[in-house]
Each structure stands twice: as C-alpha cells, then as structure tokens.
Amino acid sequence: MVADKPIEEQGVDDKLKAPRLVLLLLALCACDGRKAEATPPPAASTGPVNPDAGVTAYRCQDGQTIVAGYPDSKSAVVTYKDHAYSLKLAGTDGGVRYTGYGLQWTVQGGRGVLAVLKPGEERASDPGLACAADEAGKPAATETAFTPARP
C-alpha cells in the first residue's frame, strides 16, 4: 500500500531505474569480448619535413641585398630593406614575374629586378633595381623545382 511509505520516498525507486539501466548497458558493452582492430600508424613521409624553399640571396647594383624564397610554384617571399613581401605569380613571359604590395619581382636566370608598380599598372614601367644571385653555393631562383619549364 502506498500509505505505508513516507511521502518523500514515494517515486524514488522509479527515478533511479533509468540511470541504473544505462549503467548496466554500458557495463555490458564494455564486456563485449571483441577486440578493437589495431590500425597501423601512417607511413612516415619520405620527403623532407621542411622542403627547400629555393631561398636565394641577390646582390643589387646599389649594394643592397635582396633575399627571395619560393615556397611554392605560385608565390615568392622577397625580403628587401628588412621587410618581407609575399608576392604572387603574375606571369612568365620575359622571366618569372611576381607582384604584390606595389612591387614587381622578375627573375630570369641568375638575375632579378625589383620594380615599383605605379597605381593601375599590372606590369612595372619603372626599370627597377637590377640584382644578380650571389655565387655562395645557392642556386639561382629560376633553377628551383618550382620554376615553370620554358618552351
């Protein structure tokens, strides 16, 4: 009879049935006996962790040094006067040409030219600053694996 139990205890057993059932099901799943299949670790990469970005130092006519790196086939990072500029490939006619931040960097053979783009220009009319790759054992920028092949 319901009246035999104090009022505050009525329904307590019903409230605990659902959590007990969940715990029981979890315990049964944990004791399944099947073993998880071990997956082999991924194969180690055979290439270098940080591939050569084709970094080349260029000595310019005015005595300045420009350092250019080519992290992929469509971009160059040109460091000039302690500022690094990320430039995007703009064309390959007359050398490989990169532009951005109002600058144009053109590389052909072991030579590079840094020119300022005037507002509205897609190709610099300014003759720019001519530079030559240092011969300190580094390849010229156009000899990297990312340079498009010439016909």
Please state, rounded to an integer, the average pLDDT across all residues of the chain: 77
In this structure, is residue 37 part of a structural domain? Answer: no
- CA 44, chain centre distance (Å): 19
**Per-residue tokens: 99:** 């532009």
Domain span at 92: 56-143
In this structure, is residue 137 part of a structural domain? Answer: yes
pLDDT computed for residue 73 by the predictor: 87
The domain total for the chain is 1
pLDDT computed for residue 3 by the predictor: 58
* Residue in 89, 70, 45 with CA at minimum distance from that of residue 141: 70
Question: Which segments in the chain show pLDDT lower than 70?
Answer: 1-19, 21-22, 24-37, 44-53, 136-151
Q: Report the C-alpha gap between 70 and 101 in whole angstroms.
A: 17
Quote the pTM value: 0.57
